[in-house]
Amino acid sequence: MKWPTIAVAAALLVPAIRAQPADIETLHVQGNVFALFGGGGNVTVQTGPEGVLLVDTGLADAAPKLMAAIRKLSPGAVRYVINTHVHADHTGGNAALVKMGATPEMPGPARVIAYLNVMDRMSTPAPGEPAVPAANWPNDTYSTPYKDLFFNGEAVFVTHIPNAHTDGDSIVFFRKSDVLAVGDLFMPDLYPFIDLAHGGSVNGLIAGLNKILEIAVPAKYQEGGTMIVPGHGRLCDEADVVEYRDMVTIVRDRVQDLIKQGKTLDQVKAAKPSRDYDTQYAAQGAFISADAFVESIYKSLKP
Amino acid sequence: MKLHTGLAAVLLLAATGPLFAQQDFAGEWAPLYHEDGPERLPGPELADYTELPLNDAARLRADSWDADRISVVEQYQCRPHGADYSMRGLGNLRIWADVDPITQKIVAIHTHLLAWDSERTIYLDGRPHPSANAPHTWQGFSTGVWEGNMLTITTDHLKENYIRRNGVPRSDKAIFTEHWTRHGDYLTVTTVIEDPVFLTEPLVRSDNWYLDPGQHIGIFGCEYASELPKPEGTVPHHLPGTNPYLHEFANYYGLPYDVTRGGAETLYPEYRSKITGYHPPDHCTRYCTCTTLFNCNLP
């Protein structure tokens, strides 16, 4: 697989997830926070007397169903949107949900927060990438290590994770509800998509997973406590992230060892360094194949 | 008068007879270790995968496992056994039931195990299992149905854990089925683990407990601490082909190496006829009896 394959994979992300059924499932995570599944990437919803805060907005065409699910949780205005990264399955509904989420009392527009690089990627797409409508762009970017705000009675921390899944990743911690929304840094049933074309790297991803572990605190015997909303897949806690961090670290170490032995990309792929994880994270039809995962690590590490 | 007496007898029979099948499992239960004692008590030996229907992925995962991970990665230190491993009887067990006051049916059974104070609820009220998007836990989500006097329990939503304490994995996609039967003061639990990620066929085992009304289950307690300082994010493991301990088990017991690698074929009696090169030690020096932790001939 040549280098452009990864970029093509990025472009294919939306069609891959678009094929999923668009029925929205809502689960209460804990405290003021809920998670919506089925609209592309997972959408995290914080509600309270001041309105609604969303982490990610799913696919554009899922917006009406997502809004209907949000309205079952709160009649309040959508006041904030925080994008965990640039991909369209997490940002496609920005404009639509901001528009549909406005109320006569709070006509908006809502603040759409993202790391600066998300804005750069959207406003200046790479050659061959589709343009992103300006209405979907963030209107409140940050370029510091973190940003915080206070909404619905709790502190909300937005932390930038450099060069991980992409170069514009943010994780969002709801301190009172004790919930972390982490975007595609973590997907419990899938290999990570290390989007090299958009500034991702395996070591940045591992650093991001370790940052999640640093923030999360289990309630008792490594269970519960801080709950984690992944970019795709089921609700998790710290122990689930540990398994994932270990997997990425171990496969990274194996690829690094093969590179030190002077193996070429084809030889590394032939060695199948992820083969004991493939049945778990690269089931038939999975978006990121074992080969694509290994290739992204190799290209991320190869000097 | 006679008619009234007869009616009363019928009513009494109806009140005490098996209007619906259910069994009383409530009580304090102590584990018996006459099956698989060495594996369950002192713990399995490294690279002993015998009698496990593992696939290649599970085998490599176990080969790569390094026990230092427990010392280095804090999050492993207070990690409990999963529901399936707990029922291998690694601690004393308490069982109690919730009874519907109107119907007198058991609507839920609870278990408490010494190890990690693990508690589980087995719902018998017909409720569905949670959504696939719901969190997974160490004890999972359990529902039970009566099959005569046998209780059959289905558990899913398990966190990833181990089938054997030497790194053999069990995935979070596994389904754990138990069949509980009581014979007087003995409880037999037959367990079936189906794991599409790591097993090529169901793993069937059984464990036994005896009723021990005087049993006292203490507080477990666990607090993690850095035991072996390493740089942040270190995950100890053996690179493929570098684990120096894989042959120890085979060499000590004089077993051909292939036998120790497990796989579905090794579960069945016919496999014995295929084994060549088995040279057992002259006499047993460790794990010879192993029916309690204190008579395992530990070196």
Q: Which of A92-106, A179-193, B25-39, B124-138 has the lowest mean pLDDT?
A: B25-39
Q: CA nearest B159 in A: which residue?
A: A240
Q: Measured between CB atoms, does B74 come within 8 Å of chain A?
A: no
**Arithmetic mean of pLDDT, B69-91:** 90
Query: ipTM of the assembly?
Result: 0.92
Give the residue extent of every domain in chain A. 4-240
- In whole numbers, what is the pLDDT of chain B averaged over residues? 89
The contacts of residue A105 (CB under 8 Å, 6+ apart) are: A77
pLDDT at B14: 46
Bridge partners, residue B189, by sequence: B180, B207
Q: Does A148 touch chain B (CB under 8 A)?
A: no
Q: Rounded mean pLDDT of B112-131?
A: 96
* Cβ–Cβ under 8 Å, residues A63 and A56: no
Cα–Cα nearest to B84, from B188, B220, B177: B177
Question: Which structural domains are found in chain B, ordered by start?
Answer: 27-34+73-211 (2.40.128)
Please give the CATH topology (third level) of the domain spanning A4-240.
Answer: Metallo-beta-lactamase; Chain A (3.60.15)
Q: By the CB < 8 Å criterion, does B159 face chain A?
A: yes
Work out the pLDDT band at A16, boundaries 50, 70, 90. very low
Residue B95 pLDDT > 50:
yes
Q: Tell me how long chain A is.
A: 303
Is A234 in Cβ contact with B133 (below 8 Å)?
yes
Distance CA(B282)–CA(B290), nearest Å, equals 19
Please tell me the predicted confidence (pLDDT) of residue A189.
96
Per-residue pLDDT for A165 more than 80?
Answer: yes
Lowest-confidence region among B1-10, B175-184, B282-291? B1-10
Question: Which chain B residue lies closest to A256 (C-alpha atoms)?
Answer: B239
CB contact under 8 A, B233 and A245: yes
Instruction: Say yes or no: B116 contacts chain A, CB-CB below 8 A.
Output: yes
H-assigned helices in chain A: 4-18, 63-73, 88-91, 94-100, 116-123, 202-215, 238-260, 265-271, 278-281, 290-301
Q: Which residue of A has its CA nearest to B66?
A: A250
Of A201-215, B150-164, B192-206, B208-222, which gets the smallest average pLDDT?
B208-222
